[in-house]
Chain A
Amino acid sequence: MYLGKLGDKMEIQLDKIETENNKLKKILDDFQTNYLNIYNELESISFIWQGNESNEFNQKISVDKVKLENTYGELKEIDNIYNYLINENQGIGKNIFFDFNKKSKIEDLFNQIATSIADIVDYYDILDTSFCPVEASIINSEKQKLELIEKDLMNIKKDLKNTLDKIEKNENMVSEKTSSIDIEIIKEEQGE
């Protein structure tokens, strides 16, 4: 899998993309209907006009039709990319805003907080509370709360990492799909 470097800030407003993509599908259907109609009419000319020039024209029309069909195919490939990013990101959220430059900083922050909590718990453990049983009970309770907080923090960190990894994977796949599209260049033939 191609793993390119993800850029800085990312903004994906998925619900709006989905709305536009639904419009795109309808327009592409109309586009196909209309270009097929054009070529049906152009091809019907062979019944109205016979001769060598008509035959040459028909051959040219056949070639042009393929060019337009390929163009439609290329448009559908872009549509498929949008389908992919909508489907794969749907489970993450309607809107995704993130600065990937901050990813490692956020992970470090989680680790720092977890380390601080662990240090505090360690200090609690070495406290001599043999002379104050009431306070010892309170301290023990607070220590357990901190341990739960640390556990929750690590779970949140894991979930966040998984989500960010998924977003990166999706973007890398979009990059791969985009790179694989090769738009055929066509040249206008010089007229008579």
Chain B
Amino acid sequence: MDIEKMNMTIEKIKTYKAMIDVNFDEIKNTFKNINYYYKTSNSDSLNDLQEQLTNKFRTIQNIHENDLDYLIKKIETYKETSHKVTQIFKDIN
């Protein structure tokens, strides 16, 4: 594992994740604005769809968070293992 590259990749993912979170807030606001200007018997159905998508996106955000946590944990585990192996070789020598 190339830890430096992993850390850089994780930072990039965090940046894009923050951007996608902003995008989705903007999408929600735009839907809300459109709903204000479009009031017919179809409004409720459209609201329901938007609500479902909002809930779905929250799940996606959690998935991304878990992915990041997992990678960070893997780096920590790798570092620990690497340190232990280095120590063992030092002790042998």
Contacts and interface: CB of A to CB of B under 8 A. Distances in A.
A174 B42 contact: yes
Contacts of A188: 59, 62-63, 66
B38 A34 contact: no
The 3 closest A-B pairs by CB, nearest first: A7-B41, A13-B37, A31-B23
Given A38-B16, A53-B74, A171-B41, A186 B27 contact: no
Interface size class of chain B, counting residues whose CB lies under 8 Å from the partner chain: 35 or more
A27 B30 contact: yes
Interface string B25-66: 011001101100111111001100110110011011011101
Contact of A71 (B9, B12, B26, B60): B60
B76 interface: no
B85 interface: no
A103 B67 CA distance: 56
Nearest to A27: B26
B53 A34 contact: no
Interface size class of chain A, counting residues whose CB lies under 8 Å from the partner chain: 35 or more
Interface of B: 1-2, 5-6, 9, 12-13, 16-17, 19-20, 23-24, 26-27, 30-31, 33-34, 37-42, 45-46, 49-50, 52-53, 56-57, 59-60, 62-64, 66-67, 69-71, 73-74
Interface in A128-161: none
Contact of B27 (A16, A28, A37, A61): A28
Given A71-B60, A186-B59, A191-B70, A175 B42 contact: yes
B40 A10 contact: yes
| Most chain B CB neighbours (cut-off 10 Å) among A20, A23, A24, A50 | A20
B5 A48 contact: yes
